[in-house]
Structures are given as C-alpha cells and as structure tokens.
Amino acid sequence: ETGVTQSPTHLIKTRGQQVTLRCSSQSGHNTVSWYQQALGQGPQFIFQYYREEENGRGNFPPRFSGLQFPNYSSELNVNALELDDSALYLCASSLNTREKLFFGSGTQLSVL
Amino acid sequence: SQQGEEDPQALSIQEGENATMNCSYKTSINNLQWYRQNSGRGLVHLILIRSNEREKHSGRLRVTLDTSKKSSSLLITASRAADTASYFCAVMDSSYKLIFGSGTRLLVRP
C-alpha cells in the first residue's frame, strides 16, 4: 500500500463527454504526477504539479488539464473525450520533484 | 515519446534462474529508476540510481548504470514465480520529469 488513492477505479464515458479523475497524495508529499497508460504500453507523462503549480507537461493537448489543491490532492480533467483516451490513468505522489514516485492503483477509463 | 527503451520486450525463464533486463536512453539524466507493475495496476518503485552512481543493490535486485553508453540493466537473481510482472525503467531528465520506457514482460515458470 502506497497511501496514494485514486477514484473512481473504473469509469465508462461516451465520446465528447468530460471526465474528472481524483487523486489523494501520500501524507507529506507535495508533488503529484499524472500518467496515461494504454494497454501493453509504458506510462506516458501527462503533467506534474508541485505545490499547486504545474511543473512540467508532456505531449498532451490542452483538453487535458489538472489541479492541485492546498492539501496536495489533485484532479485530472479531460474534455471532449475521444476513443483513444481509453486507458489506465495513474497518479503518483513524491516527496519532491526529484524523488521516487508512489503510485495509486489507477483509474481505468473506457470511452465508447 | 518514450525516453527509456527496455530490451527484451518479453522474457520467459525458469524459477531459480537469473533475469536481466536492459534499458537505453537518449539524453542526460538526473537519475534512473526501475518500477514493477502487476496485472496493469499501480507501479511499485524498486530502485533508484543517481547519475553519479554505477551500481546499486536491493535484496535480489542489482542495477547498473553506464552514463557513457546511456544504458542501465536490472538483474533479478534466483527468480521466483512471484517475480512475474512487467518491469519498467524510467529516466528523470534535467527538468525532473520521469519518463518511462515501454517495459519488459517477465514470466517466471514454476
């Protein structure tokens, strides 16, 4: 158990809809990173938040957005869902931006 | 795009044998990390090796780093059926983003 919790665990949406995924960081961690993992692939970096500010972004369009709250929990929002957005979305927290990541169990998103 | 690339993509060995996985990367790094993933769920951190280190051990795991060749290897000794999982290397670049490779799927046969 890493202490990082994600909700929901599974989600089914239709194309064009919007979705919000949530992540609760491990206690004492001020950095949250979000990853997208397609079946059989490695996790792809979406973005990172450090002390409520975006601290780096991967190659994802602006319809992927996020927030980090004062308690360091985080949200990932995806607008105008596309079929290719179907994937496992992983949240990870860390003590700071340079240390190992502690992952949650992920949210499996299916877009129909 | 992927930064670390693992080799082989898949590996099948007998219980008790050693498993070696390799990772190559392209740019300068702050550190390199190895993770394990069971059944497509959350990843578990195994070991972190910094750019000024050459080798690290943790239990049955041994990681080496060669920054001149931009490569790393993970050795699991005396493998067990419970080691069956996907293993990923991840490179922390100069902007402190952790970028994962595509992974090695390890099967340890009882």
> What is the number of other CB atoms lying within 10 angstroms of the CB of residue A73?
16
Token representation of residue A84: 């290719």
pLDDT for B94: 82
How many CA atoms within 13 Å lie on the side-chain side of B95? Answer: 12
- CB contacts, 8 Å: B42 with chain A: 2, 4, 90, 103-106
Radius of gyration over every alpha carbon of chain A, rounded to an integer in angstroms: 13
Q: Is B48 on the interface with A (CB under 8 A)?
A: yes
CA–CA gap between residue B96 and residue A104 (Å, rounded): 20
| Of the candidates A17, A12, A18, A50, the residue with the CA atom closest to the CA atom of residue A34 | A50
pLDDT for A96: 85
Residue linked to tokens 């005396």: B78
pLDDT for B39: 82
pLDDT digits (tens, 9 = 90+) for A35-51: 999 999 999 999 999 99
What is the DSSP secondary-structure string of B14-62? ETTS-EEEEEE-SS--SEEEEEEESTTS-EEEEEEEETT--EEEETTEE
pLDDT for B3: 64
pLDDT for B36: 97
What is the rounded average pLDDT for all residues in chain A?
Answer: 95
Cis peptide before A61 (omega within 30 of 0): no
User: Hey, are the CB atoms on A4 and B30 less than 8 Å from each other?
Assistant: no
Distances in Å between the Cα of B82 and the Cα atoms of A2, A83, B12, B45, B78 are: 19, 34, 13, 16, 11
Confidence of residue A2 (pLDDT cuts 50, 70, 90): low
Which residues of chain B have a pLDDT value below 50? 1-2
> What is the number of other CB atoms lying within 10 angstroms of the CB of residue A38?
13
DSSP-assigned letter for residue A84: G
Give residue A66's Cα distance to chain centre.
8
CA–CA gap between residue A45 and residue A35 (Å, rounded): 5
Closest-CA distance, B20 to chain A, in angstroms, reads 19
pLDDT for B40: 67
- CB contacts, 8 Å: A48 with chain B: 96-97
Closest A-chain CA to B3: A44
